[in-house]
Every structure is written in structure tokens, then in C-alpha cells.
Structure 1
Amino acid sequence: MKKGKTAVIVGAQWGDEGKGKIVDVLSENFSVVARYAGGHNAGHTVVINNKKFILQLVPCGVLRARCRSVIGNGVVLDPLAFLKEVGSLREAGVKVDGNLFVSNRAHVILPYHRMIELAAENAPGRVKIGTTSRGIGPAYEDKMGRRGLRVADLLDLELLKKHIENAVHEKNMIAHALFNTEPLDADKMYKEYAQAAEKIAPFVCDTAVLLNQALDAGESILFEGAQGTMLDIDHGTYPFVTSSSATSGGAVIGTGVAPNAINSVIGITKAYCTRVGEGPFPSEEKGAAGENLRKRGNEYGAVTGRPRRTGWLDLPLLRYSGMINGTSWLVVTKLDVLDDLEEIPVCVGYKIDGKATAEAPAQASGFEKIECIYRKLPGWRTSTEGIAEYEKLPRQAREYLAFLGKEAGAKIGMISTGPDRDHTILVDEFVSELKAAAKKA
């Protein structure tokens, strides 16, 4: 039997590109959806029949009854947040038991991770990153420093007790010395997380084995990324980044499948740009036009509620993202947000010190010198909301999309024209490729 086909969903910008909806729509064509990075700092929003689901840890494929969902080893898991999300899904009638699996190698977020991140983010003299203060970064720090607790360890209550006692003693000393924080209670923490471990145990398995067995059986897998390429720990606008691998390469590291198992990469981009938190944003629009994008696009974080910074589409960064990820297809979301504009500025290049450059700086400080070169494209001044056929889009909207695809160097396979599942245009060639993969699977 031939190996099953795979595709990776990756954010091509600074996150919040609409990956949740796209994973939900495409998961119909896959047997398994696997989340490979991040934690409950992600906020993937899916609207089905006017009912909104905001998923932070659980892959969006869980909303498809025939689809199995996997939380891979590259994810950092907050047990309490996970159980809360599972409880909400059960209340909504979503089948999770027997359909959702958690890697025994995923690292665990504990209260001291949140304590340290919150204190560090608000400490005087520190560079503000604009984190969600949910303990994601400190959990990854402990993982890389070989001090972490994995899900398999969480289920070993004797080991869990010893780990919490030692870690809480150390973290309390550090947090008090650096930030003068109140100490955490190790006994209370152990009792709470021992109870959580019992509830999580039925979901836990070696998901690397599960995924590879699925591929060997000819099943198809969709890998769900979190955040975006420009927030990647290595390739993003460091230090204003997340703490995990947000690129397509993270799908391999974060799930345990081989690199040659990846068949295609689908990059998600808004028709404009947004960013949450601090850090470089060359095409940011700080005036009334930016506020208009924020209001029309409802640009507020799904997890934090923070207003997102808004700006125009940045083609140099989109090309950079395509290079890093090996993007096969582009999906453009929130096209309808641009409906009221007479002209749409697009950043087509950069100047630094008056000289044109094709490369983004490695240092965040280098972005401050960037001057965007804009090209203004004609708007369409008519509603595209809910349009589900490419030919029904206004001519100017089709021209905008054609320009975007050509300049980004990737084919556009899908366009989102609203929040609902049905507010989606699927390009025939893209659909054919997905269905061919599903048949082979």
C-alpha cells in the first residue's frame, strides 16, 4: 500500500491569518489533523452555522466527526486549559473521546511557568515582547534546558510529586529574587495536577507511532501550525517571536514524521497584514485607514482580546515566508475586509538608507530603517462577503488576487470571503489535488 498523503498548514505572516477556518474546511479531505507547535496562546476561530468555536489547544479537525485529532510532541500542554477546552467541546456536542490523542512526549505547562512569564513581562527595564503570559516561553525554556516535565511524566504520580517539589522550590527562589513575587504552594499544585493527570490519561499515547501507522495504512494527514512564520523562533523578527517552530519544518520536529512524508505546504495570508504585540511591522498603517481595517476585520485577539496592529499586504515578507516554508499553495483570507477601499496599497519592496533591498534584516532594529515601496491597486467598492465562486468576484478583486499570487510566487488555491465555512472559494486545481490525495489515502 502506498503511504498516505500529507499537507502542512502554516501562517505566512505574524499569526492570526485565519488558519482555524482553513483547517476546518480542508479537514474534510483528511483522515487525521495534527497540531505540531505552540500552546494555548493560539486562538483558532471556526464558525459553523453561525456558532463560533475558539480552539486553543485542540486541533480544528475535532469539529469533523470522521477526523482524528492529534496534539503532537512539539506542543506545550497546559493540562487545566486542555481539560477546560475538552469540557466545552463535549457540552457543544463535539465527539472528543476516542477521536482526540495527546502525545506522551509533549511538555507540560505548570503554574510557575505562568508566574515567571507574567513577572518578567512586566518587570522594569525588560524588553516587552507582548506575550500572552500563559507560560508558553518558560515551558519551552525548561524543555530546551532539559528541566521540563512531559505528559508521560505527568501520569507518573511519584515522579510528578518529586518534580513539582524540586521545581517549585527553585522557581520560587528565582521569581522572588528577580521579581519579588509571592511563592507558589507545591503541595497544592501537586494535588491539582495529579487529579488532572487522571482525567488526561485516556487521551495519551505515542502519537508519533499513531501518525506513522496512519501513513503506512494510506491515511492522509493535515498538519496544523500555530502563530506565523514571522513569529518563528529562528526565522521570525527575533526577539519579538514565539518560542516554538512556527514554520513548515516544525511539522516534522513536532510530530515525529519523516521530512520526506510532507507532500505539500499551504501558506495562509490575509489580504492585508496584522500583528499582535510588540515588534517590527514595516507596512503598519497607524492612521484612520488602519483603524478602518481593524474595525472591518474585527481585529482583536481570539485569546487575549487585544487590538491587533493593522497594515497593508507585505509582499517581501510573503516571499520570504514562501522561501522558508516551501509553500506550494497560498490561501487568502479576509478579502471582504477590503471591500470599501477605492485604492489598496501593497508593499512591493523595501528601501534601507535610500537603497532598494530584496532581503529582510536579521535584526529587529534593522526593520526600523525600512521604507516600504508601495503600489496602489484599484479597489472594487462592492461587497464580496459570502461569495463562493471565483467568477462572481468583482474584476478588480480577481486582479488583486492575481497580482498577489504572481508577486508571491505561489498559486492561490482558496479564498475566504467571510467567517463561515461556506464563505469560501475553492480553486478547481487545488480541490482536485486534495481529492486525489484523499482517494489515494
Structure 2
Amino acid sequence: MDIVLGLQWGDEGKGKFIDLISENYDITARFNGGSNAGHSIQRNGKRITLKMIPSGIFMKTVQNVIGTGTVLDPVSFKKEILNLQVFDETIQPEKNIIISRKAHLVLPTHKFLDIFMEESPDYTTIGTTKNGIAQAYSNKILRQNLRVGDLFSSDFQTRVVPILRRDYKMLTDGGMVLPSFEEMSNEFFEAVDFLKRFNCTETEIYLNTALNEGKNILAEGSQAAMLDIDHGTYPYVTSSSTTAAGACSGLGISPKKMGEIYGIAKAYCTRVGNGMFPTELFDELGEEIRIKGNEFGSNTGRPRRIGWLDLPALQYAVMINGVTQLVLTKADVLSGLKSVAICTHYELEDGKIEKISAVLPDNAKPVLKWMEGWNADFSNMEGNSELPQELQDFLTFLEAELGIPVAYLSIGPGREQILKLSSK
């Protein structure tokens, strides 16, 4: 099993890379997160954002698994499937999507609870996508939630309605204006009926059987390493395990069966929502990069925060995930700048230096290494030799500091605009 995951704060371009390489696999499998993810893919001049559906869905011979470590919102899933079929009417999702019976459900009241907590002064404002993901995961941990397999039980409706009524009452008592209970629940149960048309099974057995038969699996992570619930910049993180280890637990596959671990990172950093971001740019250059790189959330449309590449954080992410190959994106966005910067380490107030870290004190000062910028037309490039020397120097520096090769370089937004770099 190979793994693709983000190494920064999300939005690194995972969906595009997975879409490119998924033809080499028999199965692509999502192992964490829910509809708070957003993997954008461009095909035939059109763009679509996949939230729950694995990015291998466009390959007719690839099976796509939504694994046990995910949380599934039936209403959002139904909308995504219908949108996908409008985008490409040749896709037959009921034949190519397999859902874990053990994946937990996102209930309609979870979204409203998420909104309530984000807007209430009594709770820490995290900057969530307000999709109810944390509420589903928290109820999973509390052992108070329902799972996909429960949809097929004869008493599902009698079990879920009291939960919805309890949450609904708590929210309305707290002053929140909601749609009618009937409207909300009817939409949910219609989506549940739609979801039951799909193959829901014990995906752990399915995936391990496939591996034993010699089939190739690509595990697809949502969000990114620096948003991991345990190892990210807590509390401004997601609610699931986003690391390579999370792929094993989220899919039920032994670590002994891991192969290549592809880590995706931008040539600069972005972040959506609140949380630590020491290299953030607040000037006109940051806005220029945001516009040129189209740095707006694929799921929410929110403008992303922009900053220079954070090497200590990247080294940390490479370390905890055991990354074997780096995929660097958005280098083309920095084209035309006279110089570009990389944060190589942090200086602390007591004189100490942090060279690899995920959590820093507020007074940490990023120390920047400035490198000569590059200016090139990337539209027809085919390999290393055509890259400007300044960019090659940038890549060489990263390889030396990270101890892994930059194996792929994205040079534009299109599906085919990724160079596979030859070893040096």
C-alpha cells in the first residue's frame, strides 16, 4: 500500500497528484476526515472538488474505498454524487465506490452544533469548515454515535430520531434558528435511502484480501500532517489522524504493508482558519501570491493565508510520516519574483534555536534564507534540464535539508502539468 498525504496545512494539491497516478493502482482509499476535505481536480477544461469521494473515481478500472477512519455525511455524500454525475455522466459511482460499514455518520444536527460552537463566545473559535466533523468524531469517542452499518438495521430510525430531537432542542433552547425538524430529518432520511444503494461492507477484509491477491492500493489522506489531531498545531487542527500511521488505523492495514509514502508540499505555505503561522506574509506580495496561485479554499472559498516555506515544519512532517518521495507544487506561482525565501530555523527569546518543530512559542522568530528567484515559461517543460537553474538550486537545497528526493514537480494547474523528475 502506498500513501499520499499533505505535509503542510492542507490544500497542497493532493487530489491532482492522486488523479494522475491512480491509473497505476487497483484501489484508491480515503482513510480519514469527512466532507470538510476538498480535493480539486481539473479534467477536460472543467474543475470539480471532491469531498468524500476518493480521487481515483475518474479511472473506470479503479475501485474507490471510503474507509473506517472517515466520517460520512449522507446528505453531503448524495449531493456530491449527483454533482459528480453532472460533471461526468459516464461515471457509475454505485459500481466503483465501496463504503466501510464501520465509518461513523455525520448527523444533520452535527453541522448546526459545529456552527453554534464556532459562533459562541463560550468555546474556542477554531475556524472550522462548519461541516460537523468534530461533533461526529467526538461522539464516536464518547461511543454515542451511529455508523454506516446501522443504516441497515430495522430499528435505525427509532435510534437516530431521539438523538436528533435531543440535539435540536438543545440548539433551539440556546437561541439558534434552525429549519423545521421535519424538513431537516426528511432530507436526512432521503439521503440515507440513497446511501444504502452503495456497497457497504467490511472494507478491512476487502482491502487486505486485495493486497493478498497482489493488487495495488493507494491510500488517500485528507487535510495534512500539520493538522493532525495528535501531532499538529493543536488546538487549531482537524479531528482525525492525518498521518501515514493514520492510514493504517483508518483502513485496517498493517504498517508492514506500507510502501512508498508520497508527501505533497507547496513551494510556499498556506493555511485556512486560525492557528500558528510564523512565516505569514501580510503585505502586497502575500496578496499577489494569493491571487496568482488562486489560494481560496476549494471547499469553503475562504481566502488562504500566505507565507514563505516553513522548513522546520516540513522536516517535522517528513520525519513523523516517513516520507520517501516529495511532490512539490506551486513553484510556477513564484515565477517572476526576484528572490524567494525559506524559513530555515527559529530563534527563541532565550537564544535557543529550533530547527525542527511543529509547535513554537509566540515569540519565536523565523530566520529566512533568501534565494534567487526564477522566471520561466513552464507550459511546455518536460524534464529537469528545462527547469531554470535558480529553481533547480531551490530543489537541491530542499533535498539536502529533507534527506528525500523531490520526485515530482507541479508546474501548473492542469492535470498533466506535473513533471516526474529524474534522479540526480
What interval of TM-score do these two structures reach, taking the shorter chain for normalisation?
Answer: over 0.9
Q: Which among 170, 183, 192 is matched to residue 174 of structure 1?
A: 170
Aligned CA RMSD, in angstroms, stands at 1.8
How far off its partner does 1:186 sit?
5.5
Q: Which among 144, 147, 157 is matched to residue 147 of structure 1?
A: 144
1:427 and 2:418 are equivalent in the alignment: no
Between 202-211 and 331-340, report the one with greater CA deviation.
202-211
What amino acid maps onto 2:234 in structure 1? Y
What amino acid maps onto 2:337 in structure 1? L
For structure 2, the 5+ residue unaligned runs are none
Supply the distance in 2 between the matched residues of 1:174 and 1:9 (Cα, whole angstroms): 40
Between 349-358 and 262-271, report the one with greater CA deviation.
349-358
Q: Secondary structure at the match of 1:209?
A: helix
How far off its partner does 1:225 sit?
0.3
Q: Which residue of 1 aligns with 2:121?
A: 124
How far off its partner does 1:426 sit?
0.7
How far off its partner does 1:259 sit?
1.5
Q: Which residue of 2 aligns with 1:434?
A: none
1:221 and 2:202 are equivalent in the alignment: no
Kept in 2: contact 1:62–1:95 (CA 8 A): no
Kept in 1: contact 2:108–2:188 (CA 8 A): no
What amino acid maps onto 1:174 in structure 2? M
How far off its partner does 1:159 sit?
2.8
Q: Which among 11, 16, 33 is matched to residue 16 of structure 1?
A: 11
Q: Secondary structure at the match of 1:254?
A: helix
Q: Secondary structure at the match of 1:282?
A: coil
1:413 and 2:422 are equivalent in the alignment: no
1:95 and 2:92 are equivalent in the alignment: yes
Q: Which among 369, 376, 387 is matched to residue 393 of structure 1?
A: 387
Distance of aligned partners of 1:368 and 1:316 in 2 relative to their CA distance in 1, 3 Å threshold: same
Q: Secondary structure at the match of 2:309?
A: coil
What amino acid maps onto 1:52 in structure 2? R
Q: Which among 394, 403, 428 is matched to residue 397 of structure 2?
A: 403
How far off its partner does 1:174 sit?
3.5
Supply the distance in 2 between the matched residues of 1:316 and 1:324 (Cα, whole angstroms): 13
Supply the distance in 2 between the matched residues of 1:125 and 1:197 (Cα, whole angstroms): 33
How far off its partner does 1:191 sit?
3.9
Supply the distance in 2 between the matched residues of 1:127 and 1:256 (Cα, whole angstroms): 33
What amino acid maps onto 1:69 in structure 2? N
What amino acid maps onto 2:236 in structure 1? F
Q: Which residue of 1 aligns with 2:42?
A: 47
Kept in 2: contact 1:361–1:367 (CA 8 A): no
Q: Provide, for residues 345-400 of structure 1, a one-character-per-residue CA deviation record: whole Å limited to 9, x for no partner.
A: 110111111421224264xxx44221111100111122334533221111111111
Supply the distance in 1 between the matched residues of 2:168 and 2:96 (Cα, whole angstroms): 38
Supply the distance in 2 between the matched residues of 1:121 and 1:416 (Cα, whole angstroms): 35
Supply the distance in 2 between the matched residues of 1:299 and 1:385 (Cα, whole angstroms): 20
Supply the distance in 2 between the matched residues of 1:27 and 1:368 (Cα, whole angstroms): 41
Supply the distance in 2 between the matched residues of 1:351 and 1:429 (Cα, whole angstroms): 34
What amino acid maps onto 1:154 in structure 2? L
Identity of aligned residues (%): 39
For structure 1, the 5+ residue unaligned runs are 1-5, 431-441
Q: Secondary structure at the match of 1:290?
A: helix
Q: Provide, for residues 133-166 of structure 1, a one-character-per-residue CA deviation record: whole Å limited to 9, x for no partner.
A: 011110111111101110011232x432122222
What amino acid maps onto 1:409 in structure 2? G
Q: Which residue of 1 aligns with 2:345?
A: 349
Q: How many residues align?
A: 420
Q: Secondary structure at the match of 1:45?
A: strand
Supply the distance in 1 between the matched residues of 2:106 and 2:137 (Cα, whole angstroms): 9
What amino acid maps onto 2:79 in structure 1? K
How far off its partner does 1:80 sit?
1.3
Residue correspondence of structure 1 range 335-374 to structure 2 within 5 A:
335-353=331-349, 354-360=351-357, 362=359, 366-374=360-368
Supply the distance in 1 between the matched residues of 2:290 and 2:179 (Cα, whole angstroms): 39
Q: Provide, for residues 7-42 of structure 1, a one-character-per-residue CA deviation record: whole Å limited to 9, x for no partner.
A: 110100000000000111111211110011111111
Q: Which residue of 1 aligns with 2:2?
A: 7
TM-score, normalised to structure 2, is 0.95
Between 132-141 and 403-412, report the one with greater CA deviation.
403-412
Supply the distance in 2 between the matched residues of 1:256 and 1:368 (Cα, whole angstroms): 38
Kept in 1: contact 2:315–2:356 (CA 8 A): no
Kept in 2: contact 1:129–1:277 (CA 8 A): yes
TM-score, normalised to structure 1, is 0.91
1:302 and 2:303 are equivalent in the alignment: no
What amino acid maps onto 1:115 in structure 2? F
Kept in 1: contact 2:4–2:219 (CA 8 A): yes
Kept in 1: contact 2:375–2:388 (CA 8 A): no
Q: Which among 266, 270, 285 is matched to residue 270 of structure 1?
A: 266
Supply the distance in 1 between the matched residues of 2:108 and 2:389 (Cα, whole angstroms): 53
Distance of aligned partners of 1:357 and 1:130 in 2 relative to their CA distance in 1, 3 Å threshold: same
Supply the distance in 2 between the matched residues of 1:361 and 1:425 (Cα, whole angstroms): 30
How far off its partner does 1:304 sit?
0.5
Q: Which residue of 2 aligns with 1:110?
A: 107
Q: Secondary structure at the match of 2:93?
A: coil
Kept in 1: contact 2:231–2:358 (CA 8 A): no
1:210 and 2:212 are equivalent in the alignment: no
Q: Secondary structure at the match of 1:414?
A: strand
Kept in 2: contact 1:30–1:67 (CA 8 A): yes
Kept in 2: contact 1:154–1:194 (CA 8 A): no
